[in-house]
């Protein structure tokens, strides 16, 4: 089912890409767009995860230089019966995180330094469990390829104003076609991203809560991340808005509402769903969890002189992320 869904998505985005080419250059432009889209689809399948990580200046870390962060991801992956993903750190003050990769065997998770500083270890565990849920559901391939193609469609739409004015381009719709290429096609790509992102965030929230064992950890984390995302501008995300749906909370400024133009569901609605899930947990009889439950370190158990995961001595708030 996931393979079919991804194939349908690729076909739609390719058709949209060809449509933009047709509006800009007629039949010749459509054929060129088909060739470009085919190459991009193949390239995106193998390299889109690397592109997204590079966009956000993510640096791979391991147990030697980010022990607490790495250990939490390792324990969560074991709890979910998933292969250990690559672990990345983003030097960004905005608290946020995302997952990418074409399959669970080639997955990567990334958290910002702002997230590790602002959240408790339990909340960090919940966020990374949410990202691993995306990996388990194979959302990472679909969302990463969609982000790559949506960005390309938007760029092609911008080129329309330069190439569309050429009378030799066989554009059958004239100026109307140019406007459609500039506005309608990028908007359609954005709508596809929104629809995909919204439905999958709820599913990843629920599965992430199961993986970490406590829905309220994730509810608390979402509240903190949403507040931080409103207060701190993520310049890398603003330069690459097509990657926004990959994040656990929309990293773009001014995008907090659950409306037509939001790439994510309302944070309040997600928190309410997690609180309802916590109530279900309390009412249900205790049942053995699959795998082993992650044990995030309690803050009071951490020595004050422990270095931070990225080599700076912690100051102020105590904990492995300070």
pLDDT, residue 197, reads: 62
Q: List, for residues 206-254, the tens digit of each pLDDT value.
A: 999 999 999 999 999 999 999 999 999 999 999 888 788 889 999 987 5
Which residues touch 80 (CB under 8 Å, ≥6 apart)?
Answer: 129, 132, 133, 136, 211, 291
pLDDT, residue 259, reads: 46
Q: Which of 252, 40, 223, 230 is nearest to 119 (CA)?
A: 223
Helices and strands per DSSP (H, E), number in the chain: 10, 4
On whether the CB atoms of residues 243 and 264 are closer than 8 A, the answer is no
Q: List, for residues 310-320, the tens digit of each pLDDT value.
A: 333 333 333 34
pLDDT, residue 32, reads: 73
pTM above 0.85, yes or no: no
User: Mind telling me the catalytic residues?
Assistant: 131
On whether the CB atoms of residues 198 and 265 are closer than 8 A, the answer is yes
What count of residues does the chain have? 322
On whether the CB atoms of residues 310 and 90 are closer than 8 A, the answer is no
- Chunked in runs of 10, what are the mean pLDDT values of the chain (322 residues)? 61 72 69 72 73 93 95 97 97 96 92 97 97 91 69 64 51 56 62 65 94 96 96 91 86 58 81 95 67 50 36 36 38
How far apart are alpha carbons 296 and 64 in whole angstroms?
Answer: 18
């Amino acid at each position: 089912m996931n393979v079919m869904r991804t194939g349908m998505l690729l076909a739609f985005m390719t058709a949209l890409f060809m449509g933009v080419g047709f509006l800009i250059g007629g039949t010749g432009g459509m054929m060129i767009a088909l060739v470009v889209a085919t190459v991009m689809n193949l390239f995106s399948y193998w390299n889109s995860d690397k592109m997204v990580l590079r966009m956000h200046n993510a640096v791979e870390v391991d147990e030697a230089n980010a022990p607490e962060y790495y250990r939490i991801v390792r324990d969560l992956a074991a709890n979910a019966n998933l292969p250990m993903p690559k672990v990345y750190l983003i030097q960004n003050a905005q608290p946020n995180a995302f997952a990418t990769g074409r399959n669970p065997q080639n997955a990567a998770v990334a958290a910002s330094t702002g997230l590790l500083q602002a959240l408790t270890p339990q909340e960090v565990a919940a966020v990374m469990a949410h990202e691993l849920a995306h990996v388990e559901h194979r959302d990472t391939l679909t969302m990463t390829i969609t982000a790559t193609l949506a960005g390309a469609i938007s760029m092609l739409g911008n080129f329309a104003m330069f190439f569309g004015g050429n009378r030799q381009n066989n554009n059958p719709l004239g100026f109307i076609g140019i406007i459609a290429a500039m506005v309608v096609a990028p908007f359609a790509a954005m709508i596809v991203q929104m629809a995909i992102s919204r439905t999958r965030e709820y599913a990843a929230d629920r599965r992430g809560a199961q993986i970490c064992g406590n829905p309220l950890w994730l509810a608390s984390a979402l509240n903190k991340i949403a507040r931080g995302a409103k207060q701190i501008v993520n310049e890398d995300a603003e330069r690459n808005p097509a990657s926004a749906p990959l994040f656990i909370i929309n990293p773009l400024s001014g995008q907090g509402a659950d409306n037509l133009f939001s790439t994510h569901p309302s944070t309040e609605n997600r928190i309410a769903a997690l609180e309802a899930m916590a109530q279900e947990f309390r009412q249900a009889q205790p049942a053995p969890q699959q795998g082993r439950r992650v044990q995030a370190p309690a803050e009071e158990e951490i020595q004050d002189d422990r270095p931070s995961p990225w080599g700076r001595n912690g100051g102020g708030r105590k904990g492995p992320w300070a």
